[in-house]
Amino acid sequence: MTFFYVILAAIFAVLLVNFVKRQSRPAKLARYQKEFRQFHKRTLDVDTSEIVADALQERLNKALDVAYMELVNTEYRLKHPRDPQEKVNQAWRELKRFLIMAAVFGKVEMFNSDIDKLWHIMLDHKQEYDQFCQAFIGMGILHHPHFQPVFKPEERTLFDFFYVQLFTVDSISISTWGKFFKHDKGQSFLRDFETMELEQLKAKYMRKPTSKQAEMTFEHFTSQFKVNRPLTERNGRKIYNQTDYAAPAYFTYASTDDFDHDFKDIFGNSETSSAHSGHSWDHGGSHDSHSDSSSSCSSCSSCSS
């Protein structure tokens, strides 16, 4: 008889837990929606450098409308209830930065699983995602998953090369992506942008086709190597400390033969690099061969989704 009551109590406990979960879902939805609306304006400033055309960021914010963001945000928080809205807002900032890079450059890898999860929820709503891409740059930003984790240090270095010049690099950036230039200082990319003509650089590095605002951003990106690069080698650390803009510090760092400890909080080298920083995400699914109009997923095997 005692055993019977134990079983009955266990069944009752399971039913009670399920009832509480069902009852709490509407409350959670209401709270997540309220917090998103309360803090939505904080997701609008992506903290770009002067290189990013204002019109490109404006198109991004307009294309990623409030209703679509709220839908994606709510789903993300239901799946990750321990993440407060402040943390999710940080993920939104980094995803929007990634989308800007994907709009400007031919192929950009994804190197963070949490940001990728947010991107996947966007992709799950195909109609809304397609409308977003059309409003943003007039064409789709495709997702190229890998079947197996792949170590991609060159792609990670290229990601870093783009990122540190387009955006501020603060504690959120480093906690999201890790330190930059762990595998290589990117001198080969520097050499290309310092020596090649604009049309050659567009053919090699720019997304094709893309919007005029994204192309303008690519041209701004290119022009700094012809004009500003020699000037920014001076006081790179001071400029970074005052502005969180890491490009001047990067130019100085890239020109040194040895690891410069003045920049150890921003940049790393192969001896101090994490094994996670250059691997690609394993999602399965089909792989589109037209890489000029897409972006890939990246991760290490220990945290692939």
In this prediction, residue 271 has a pLDDT band, given cuts at 50, 70 and 90, of: very low
Query: Is residue 198 within 8 Å of 219, Cβ to Cβ?
Result: yes
Over range 45-66, report the average pLDDT. 95
Can you give the pLDDT at residue 264?
86
Q: Where are the domains of the chain?
A: 2-303
Which CA distances in Å does 305 have to 76, 118, 120, 159, 251? 15, 12, 11, 21, 35
- The C-alpha atoms of residue 4 and residue 178 are separated, in whole angstroms, by 55
Query: Is residue 268 within 8 Å of 179, Cβ to Cβ?
Result: yes
pLDDT in tens, 74-104: 999 999 999 999 999 999 999 999 999 999 9
More confident residue, 287 or 21: 21
Query: Is residue 222 within 8 Å of 234, Cβ to Cβ?
Result: no
Query: How does DSSP classify residue 301?
Result: G
Q: Which two tokens stand for residue 213?
A: 């605002």
| Closest by CA position to 215, among listed 60, 56, 47 | 56
Can you give the pLDDT at residue 188?
95
In this prediction, residue 254 has a pLDDT band, given cuts at 50, 70 and 90, of: confident
Can you give the pLDDT at residue 5?
57
Can you give the pLDDT at residue 285?
30
Can you give the pLDDT at residue 280?
58
